[in-house]
Amino acid sequence: MRRRQDTPGRTTELLELDEILIAAIDSVEASLTADRDWQQSLREAVRSGRQLCRLLGIDPQIAGTAAEGDFPVFAPREFIARMEPGNPSDPLLLQVLATAPESHPGGVDDPVGDMRSLAAPGMLQKYAGRALVIASGACAIHCRYCFRRHFPYQSSPPTPTVWQGWLQQLRRDPSIEEVILSGGDPLSLVDSQLSKLVATLRAIPSVHRLRIHTRFPVVIPARVTDSLLAALRTWERGLFVVLHVNHANEIDAEVEWAVQRLRRAGAVLLNQAVLLRGVNDSAEVQVELCRRLVNLQVIPYYLHQLDPVRGAMHFQVDDATARRILVELRQRLPGYAVPELVREIPGAPSKTPL
């Protein structure tokens, strides 16, 4: 370290300034490195059903390549590593592998009424006191049951112009107390973008709660970087992170690490799952998932019935079966570990309990 010839006090002061500068540079470099790490995972993701099958030693003929043209396969290798090789019925595989039934008729492109709920480009208002922001159209993974698989993300890209539009809407409407960052996945934004977004929302006095819906901590745990956590810690009001975990096999040691880091950053952690035929439509699977979640201090929040989106109707579970599963969960788990079984009905003032 370079020293100037000066008074002892002045030398000490310069040394301290140098150390602060070096620490700041190290922090920026660490943030950039962390962004590169998880972005590298996205670049290396598997983008073909046949390739995914070959990696797992499964007959590639089961891949529905026709369906990939409508909604491409996208599966990071961290998530694939938790699948069972040789098992075409693996519950994690079924969530991401395009198959022939996706081409069957049924379902609609906008099953939850997103398009009729647009208050501004990139912002939806469905429920009192809350606004949902499409922070990004990119995702950590392409879930075949996704209710936004046909959403026109190109109409509201995360550009300064679009962001300014919905930010002005938030500032004009003091009844909005909670902002929900959704997508896509909001954590597909880099940490510097998220930090600016959090700071901007923090400056709106009427916004008391921030909720983030994300698959990233489960799919690519390395996404939970130090700089992301630093940005979240600046939110001194109610902070909620809603994970999307559908099966206990999705949770490994790295996911547990990421979840613990989010919790220590002050986030209240919730989970919402989707009931999927062939994936998690049994009481045994749901009980194990809820147990794993509460052991990590993640509250099982909602168990959603499938939104009837075109291309995913083969995942649908009938209401009678869903209710039977819920009854058994109540018999086997403490009340705080039992999610609420709900359906989203377009135009309804809230999620509808079943």
Sign of CA dihedral 233, 338, 146, 66: positive
Residue position matching structure tokens 């529905």: 64
Buried/exposed code over 59-83 (b: 16+ C-beta within 10 A; e: otherwise):
eeeebbeebbeebebbbbebbbebb
pLDDT score recorded for residue 105: 95
CA distance 324 to 321: 5
pLDDT of the chain, 354 residues: tens digit per residue: 333 344 444 444 434 444 443 444 444 445 445 677 999 999 999 999 999 999 999 999 999 988 999 999 999 999 999 999 999 999 999 999 999 999 999 999 999 999 999 999 999 999 999 999 999 999 999 999 999 999 999 988 889 999 999 999 999 999 999 999 999 999 999 999 999 999 999 999 999 999 999 999 999 999 999 999 999 999 999 999 999 999 999 999 999 999 999 999 999 999 999 999 999 999 999 999 999 999 999 999 999 999 999 999 999 999 999 999 999 999 999 999 999 999 999 999 999 999
Listed residue (122, 124, 125, 181) closest to 154, CA to CA? 122
- Cα 295–Cα 79–Cα 154 angle in degrees, nearest 5: 110
Residue ranges and CATH numbers for the domains of the chain are 49-103 (no CATH), 115-353 (3.20.20.70)
Tokens matching residue 19 = 């150390």
Beta bridge partners of 108: 309
- What's the pLDDT at 34? 62
Q: Tell me what pLDDT residue 120 has.
A: 95
Q: Which of 185, 198, 264 is nearest to 232 (CA)?
A: 198
